[in-house]
Amino acid sequence: MQLWLIGLSCLAALTLADKPISFANRVANTHQKLLQKLKELSANSNQNAPVDNTKMVGNEIVIEYNHPKQALNLKLADKKATFVREEEKNPAFVPPAPVMTFKKQEPEPAPAIVPPSQLAAYAYAVDFAQVATVAQMQCLRQNSYSTAFVRAYNPAGQGSFDANSCTNINNAYSAGLGIEIYMTPQPMSSKTGYQQLDEVYNGLNSRGITVRAIWIQVTSPINWPTNSNTNINFINSIIARARQYSLSVGIYTSAYDWNQITGGWTGAGNDVMLWYWNVRGGGVSGESPPNFSDFAPFGCWNSPTAKQFAQVEQVCSITVNRDVYMSGSAVAQVEGMAHREVAQEKEGMAKWEKAAALQTNQAKPKIFVGGFVNPKH
């Protein structure tokens, strides 16, 4: 994933009937106009809408976006636009149209992590969508990463099963990593949410991979319908289908994303896990603490299962996001689950094998994905 920064200079104040408009309001108005323009450009390009997230912190607005290079007919790939306040010198001055400048930020090498002890509270993971080799997966494990979150559904176009996930799952398995899968659904697709989940489940199961848990990405508010009830129904259809397959379910989101997309829906279910993200930007300087100290309850969640604390960093020559999840005294146990013989002995494994056998009428698959960051599920 590449990171792009857009600096937008909002010069001084607009006036209305000789009454200055607050800087925050001017920035918010500018943001709304740009947001609409981004939507129009995205629609005209027949690509996914680019904006991923928007939020205001004081007088600073951050717009995150994730889209193909063609989305804005600009030489861009991914993530991050920031509106930056300049000096407000003359309240009567009417500024010209905002000027945008673009700067590419390459992924930075991630700092080394201290190998966790048996009593460490957190274990480390990475998430990514690109193909990684067995050697790279082995390198991750040697550098104290216990689990890989692998994308299994690509939202491009109408959305489709991500065949690269099979390569990554097999390579992670060979390296002894725990494996979680996430899907980035396409809520604008003609396919329902449960049909997209079916594509993931059947795509993996037909290749000898048993799915035990699925994470659903609920980010990028601009890529979702504006009606929160429509979005809730879409998400709920995925959750309901996953439960029919006896899968554990988790959501990857943030409080802002969740509120924008679902209106703060609290009905997902107490059994639905949370993987939340909190970063200030890409690279090492944008990291938040690798723990849950910044978490505040939202939606139906009073506590998280995992956290993404860093984005767009290089580990073992892979561009990844970095994550942590609760480990307690079970680090060795969680890592050991990556091995087939231990995983097959875990409590509840018979349920997963039975579900797989019913779906395929074949011998049980030997690779299991999901359940590594939260073995109790």
Q: What is the DSSP annotation of 9-63?
A: EE-S--EETTEEPPHHHHHHHHHHHHHHHHHHHHHHTTS---EEEEEEETTEEEE
SS3 state of residue 303: coil
The token pair that represents 198 in the structure block: 């079916």
d(CA 60, CA 193): 35
Domain spanning 109-369: which CATH class is it, in words? alpha beta
Pairing mode, strands 273-277 and 306-315: parallel
Q: Around Cβ 309, how many Cβ atoms within 10 Å?
A: 23
Given this model, what pLDDT does residue 354 score?
56
Average pLDDT, the chain: 75
CA 340 to chain centre: 27
Q: Where are the domains of the chain?
A: 3-105, 109-369
pTM over 0.75: no
Pairing mode, strands 209-211 and 367-369: parallel
d(CA 29, CA 22): 11
The per-residue pLDDT for range 48-65, each reduced to its tens digit, is: 444 444 554 444 445 544
Q: Around Cβ 106, how many Cβ atoms within 10 Å?
A: 11
Given this model, what pLDDT does residue 87 score?
34
Given 3-state DSSP classes, what are the helix, strand and coil percentages for the chain, each rounded to the nearest 5? 30, 30, 40
The per-residue pLDDT for range 134-191, each reduced to its tens digit, is: 999 999 999 999 999 999 999 999 999 999 999 999 999 999 999 999 999 999 999 9
